[in-house]
Structure 1
Amino acid sequence: MDVAARHRRVVVPWPSEEATPMDGEPESELVRQFRSLAGALEDSNEFHISARGCPLRVKYSPGSVSSLTLSAPYPARRAAPAHGPHSAYRDPAGTLVAIRPMKIKLRRETDEDRAARSRGVACEAQTGDPLFDDEVYIDSPSDVQTVLRTLASPELRAGVRALLAEGVEHVILDDKDGEISALLLHFTRATHDAHRANRMLDAFVGVALNAPCVITSSEQRPADTERALLIIGGILCGVLGSLGIAAYSLAAGQRCEFDSNPEASVLFSLDGCFTPAALGLMVGYLPGFLLGAAVSRRFRGRSDSHDRARSAHALTLILSVQLAIWLFAALLWLR
């Protein structure tokens, strides 16, 4: 039996059709399936399931952007291989020691990811498993050796692929809470599927049981200066954006009081309410775009460098336009 077939083995009873009535809402249907598997109450949004000795937590968050999260503790101590001697990939050269959390995020690979990798912007670990490497993008601050040893199990990789095929947004191995987690945001399915929860549970258990045990290293991950600068830039944009609107209105005074000042709405008069904003947008856009492009080129060599480059470009452009607006407001209104 091949890995894929072995991975799809049923591990818990499938819910009956009566337990998962079809009401036209895939989200409600899937949640009911998980509640049935857990034996949870109908209104429960967080419950636990034990499958093949693996304790899992299911958390459903309803709302305008609903989500369902599967999670399990990352293995904290050495255990026997999950599927017998053929799975003795664990620690082939001794116990794996790594900086934790490893934060290995696994999601569907996109054309943008492939383009960034081909340009040398993004640096992604490759497992040597063609199907996995073609379908799954590996994003992690951990070193390549740690990532590859964590993903060494064929059963783990098959489980990740199966979860992504079920619509899961991403799977994270050793997240900030020291857990293995899988996030589902898209519930829609074209047809009624009474066994989707069971397949997701089986796939997730395959991942959890085949994740190698890791001892936390005493070393610290190097400071991420790039990320710090992006956070500072984002905060600065937010502060200028939120406070800037109030300050702009205060500085404009009667220029933006359209009821008492008929000339206030004239865009290109020197005292027009929107004149600094319009001129700032026109004049600040091009240098901001060019400077942002130059700044973004400095982001290279990480698995998420293309995402960081895009953020840096956007932040630089926004800051350039904001500063240009304030410059024109000062030149036109403080004469």
Structure 2
Amino acid sequence: MDDNPESEIVRQFRELAGAPQGTNDFHMSTCGCPLRVKYSPGSVSSLTLSAPYPSRMTAPAHGPLAAYRHPGEVFVAVRPMKIKLRRETDEDRGARSRGVVREVQTGDPLFDDAVYVDSRSDPQTVLRALASPELRGGVRALLAEGIEHVILDDKAGEISALLLHFTRAPHSPDRASRVLGAFAAVVLNVPSVSTSSEQRPADVERALLIFGAVLCLLLLFIGVPVYLLAAGQRCDFENNPGANVLFSLDGCFTPFSLGLAAGLLVGPLLAAAVARRFHGRSDSLERSSAAYAVTLVLSVQLAVWLFAALLWLR
């Protein structure tokens, strides 16, 4: 057995699939479930298992699950559902208790205590997708094996499991077999879905965050040259020996210093007020953190330009 957990688990997957040494992308089948294994080596290595999400009401590969996907049942949902399942942290629990996030609870205490459910789909859709005890057990087993997250119906219409931290779980000679078995339990127990003709409502919050982040980048990469151009001879230290850096009101970097000080003084208060408006979703903790960061950076940048206008346009 290899002492390197990463190369060892990849070797195990290749061996189970009958794939040649050095193959990083291959297909295999387990428990009647066809799936793809993709290993991406590098500074941030990853291993991904994926399988198509069933889109029709079909019987599962073996007996005990036959009653679960009853041909008469029709499950219609806006797709992709993008149900992301990861470890629940103390930070998640704290955010839920404060009302920052709203997470679907399945009523299965073992699952609800260990797994955080993040999805833009409505609660009824999520609960229907997670209805199978075998599926929930498979997700818990995957997370126990070190899997970063499981996504049901991702943007490619697949079920996927991502392994990033190869040493997160104890390694053993049959680790790949256990991961495959748990992944198969998930794939074979998801309810088949018919795609709804409805469209998911526009995500205004996400659009605002993207706009704010883009504005930050523009003010950084375009704003710096424009700042130096606006400063003119104040920053021309080569041709203007008398150019002043900080020690005058119209110095080259005086607006920057004053803007930084003012932004860091007022910015956190404004950022906290903006961040509090992001709540009530399963991913609101991440969104509120992003909103805080974007608002703080914008506060500093805009304060710099405000002081530049006040001092240089007098």
TM-score normalized by the length of structure 2 = 0.92
Q: State how far apart, in whole Å, the 2-side matches of 1:35 and 1:249 are.
A: 56
Deviation by residue 1:264-304 (Cα, 9 ceiling, x = unmatched): 68544435443222211110123222222222222222111
Map residues 172-191 of structure 1 onto 2, 5 A cutoff. Answer: 172-188=151-167
User: What is the DSSP-based 3-state SS (H/G/I as helix, E as strand, rest coil) of the residue aligned with 1:187?
Assistant: coil
Q: State how far apart, in whole Å, the 1-side matches of 2:240 and 2:9 are.
A: 59
Contact map agreement 1:89 1:152 (CA 8 A) in 2:
no
Long gaps (5+) in structure 1: 1-20
- C-alpha change, 1:42 and 1:284, in structure 2 (3 Å) is same
Q: State how far apart, in whole Å, the 2-side matches of 1:269 and 1:224 are.
A: 47
What percentage of residue pairs aligned between the two structures are identical?
A: 72
Q: State how far apart, in whole Å, the 1-side matches of 2:72 and 2:101 are.
A: 29
Aligned partner (choices 198, 206, 216) of residue 227 of structure 1: 206
Count the aligned residue pairs: 314
Q: State how far apart, in whole Å, the 1-side matches of 2:279 and 2:137 are.
A: 30
Contact map agreement 1:82 1:210 (CA 8 A) in 2:
no
Deviation by residue 1:45-90 (Cα, 9 ceiling, x = unmatched): 1111111221111111122211111100001221224553466333
- C-alpha change, 1:69 and 1:258, in structure 2 (3 Å) is farther
Aligned partner (choices 198, 203, 208) of residue 177 of structure 2: 198
User: What is the DSSP-based 3-state SS (H/G/I as helix, E as strand, rest coil) of the residue aligned with 1:292?
Assistant: helix
Long gaps (5+) in structure 2: none
User: What is the DSSP-based 3-state SS (H/G/I as helix, E as strand, rest coil) of the residue aligned with 1:168?
Assistant: coil
Contact map agreement 1:35 1:42 (CA 8 A) in 2:
yes
Shift of 1:91: 5.8
- C-alpha change, 1:85 and 1:49, in structure 2 (3 Å) is closer
| Worse-superposed segment, 101-110 or 259-268 | 259-268
Amino acid at match of 1:79: T
- C-alpha change, 1:38 and 1:81, in structure 2 (3 Å) is closer
| Worse-superposed segment, 150-159 or 324-333 | 324-333
Structure 1 vs Structure 2 CA RMSD: 2.2
Deviation by residue 1:20-40 (Cα, 9 ceiling, x = unmatched): x41x32222221111111111
Contact map agreement 1:26 1:189 (CA 8 A) in 2:
no
- C-alpha change, 1:192 and 1:174, in structure 2 (3 Å) is closer
- C-alpha change, 1:150 and 1:165, in structure 2 (3 Å) is same
TM-score normalized by the length of structure 1 = 0.86
1:328 aligns with 2:285: no
Q: State how far apart, in whole Å, the 1-side matches of 2:214 and 2:158 are.
A: 29
1:138 aligns with 2:117: yes
Counterpart for residue 26 of structure 1: 5
| Worse-superposed segment, 325-334 or 46-55 | 325-334
Aligned partner (choices 247, 262, 278) of residue 226 of structure 2: 247
1:159 aligns with 2:138: yes
